Each structure stands twice: as structure tokens, then as C-alpha cells.
């Protein structure tokens, strides 16, 4: 089997085992048994279990980067809200189609391995940085209000993580309805429009 195909095979089987047993209860023996390879073959591709797990995290980041496209303005471009909707739909479809990866990320228990904890936190920091860059661009383009974009990015990330964790344990949801609800919440929160106007007037005094 060609080297890259064998490496992908190992990653695929490891992903399933991690999702079923959790990172800490999975060992290299589990992975090589499932992938039907020799122990020496495993170490041709990965230094250890952490190295393999980190590759799965990088895989997620690459896939998210492909799906989160920069908002474009112009007469021939869709409305910004429609572009946001498309980005969100691509992301939600990806995480629901990759439930093994989703379960690995969301079920990883902190406190057992400081080095791995740091890698997981670094992963989420990089996702938050992607969101923050999008918010900063939105402010520049005039359709995002002035705000602390770092704080807002982590609020968005936390909310999406909880939603993904919930729906990953359920039957496949109505993606379009889910995306619409997330988008409406992100753009306007939960307050009625007339109440928002009243609050804004009170704040501006």
C-alpha cells in the first residue's frame, strides 16, 4: 500500500478508536490492531499517540479553514448575511459528518496530561483567532458593531461547541433550521428588536 494511503488508514482507524474509548484509554496497541499494521509501521508515520492525535487536530483546522471563506463585497456578490449563512452551513455539515472527530475534541478530559491539555487549548485558541479575524474584518466592512472581538470570538466558539456537543449525540438535525437559528442569535441575540432600540436609547442617554 502506498505510504500516504497507509498513513491515512492509520489516522482513520485511530479516529474511530479515540471516539469510542477516549484519548486516555486508547493505546498504540489498540490502533495497530484495528489498522492491521505492525508496531514498527506505526512508528514510521508517528512518534507516539500524541503525535497522531495532534495530526487529527491539524486535520480539523485545515478542513475548517477551507469552509470558512472570507466575506466579499461587490455588486455581483451575495449579501454578507448570506455568505455568513453559507460559511456556517459548511462548518455544521463538516462537524456532523465527522462525528468521530467531534466526539474526540468535546469528550477529551482535562487534567490527565498537561502537554495534551495545552495542545487542545492551542487548537481552540487558533479557531478563536480565525473567528476574531472575521469579526475584525466585519467591523472594517461596516456590518459588525464595534466590540472586543477577542471576547466575542470566545463567546461564539463556546456557544458553537455546546451546540455541536448536543447535536452530535442526537439524530441528524435539520441543518438549515439549525444554521438559521445560530445566525439569528449571532446577529441579534434573543431580545426583541423594539427592546433593543429602547436599551440602546437608554445607554446613549
Would you kindly state where each structural domain of the chain is located, as residue ranges? 1-46, 49-204
Checking 170-176 for CB contacts under 8 A at 24+ apart, the result is: 172/96, 173/96, 175/89, 175/92, 175/93, 175/96, 176/89
- 182 with 127: CB under 8 angstroms? no
pLDDT single digits (tens) 52-81: 988 887 887 788 778 888 778 788 888 877
CATH fold label, 1-46: Arc Repressor Mutant, subunit A (1.10.10)
Q: What is the CATH number of domain 49-204?
A: 1.10.357.10
pLDDT above 60 (res 169): yes
Q: At residue 109, does pLDDT exceed 80? A: no
Lowest mean pLDDT among 32-41, 44-53, 124-133: 124-133
Does position 192 have pLDDT exceeding 90, yes or no?
A: no
Query: Percent of the chain beyond pLDDT 90?
Result: 15
Taking only the tens place, the pLDDT of each residue in 10-30 is: 999 998 898 888 888 889 999
Question: Rounded CA gap, 65 and 20, in Å?
Answer: 26
Amino acid at each position: 500500500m502506498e505510504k500516504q494511503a497507509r498513513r491515512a488508514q492509520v489516522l482513520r482507524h485511530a479516529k474511530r478508536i479515540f471516539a469510542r474509548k477516549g484519548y486516555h484509554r486508547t493505546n498504540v496497541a489498540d490502533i495497530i490492531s484495528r489498522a492491521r499494521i505492525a508496531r514498527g509501521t506505526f512508528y514510521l508515520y508517528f512518534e507516539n499517540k500524541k503525535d497522531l492525535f495532534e495530526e487529527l487536530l491539524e486535520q480539523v483546522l485545515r478542513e475548517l479553514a477551507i469552509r470558512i471563506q472570507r466575506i466579499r463585497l461587490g455588486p455581483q456578490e451575495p449579501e454578507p448575511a448570506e455568505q455568513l449563512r453559507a460559511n456556517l452551513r459548511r462548518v455544521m455539515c463538516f462537524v456532523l459528518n465527522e462525528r468521530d472527530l467531534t466526539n474526540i475534541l468535546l469528550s477529551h478530559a482535562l487534567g490527565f496530561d498537561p502537554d495534551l491539555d495545552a495542545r487542545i487549548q492551542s487548537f481552540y485558541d487558533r479557531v478563536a483567532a480565525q473567528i476574531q479575524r472575521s469579526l475584525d474584518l466585519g467591523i472594517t466592512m461596516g456590518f459588525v458593531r464595534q466590540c472586543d472581538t477577542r471576547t466575542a470570538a470566545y463567546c461564539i466558539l463556546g456557544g458553537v461547541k455546546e451546540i455541536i456537543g448536543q447535536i452530535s449525540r442526537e439524530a441528524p438535525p435539520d441543518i438549515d433550521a439549525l444554521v438559521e437559528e445560530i445566525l439569528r442569535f449571532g446577529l441579534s441575540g434573543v431580545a426583541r428588536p423594539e427592546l433593543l432600540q429602547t436599551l440602546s436609547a437608554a445607554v446613549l442617554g
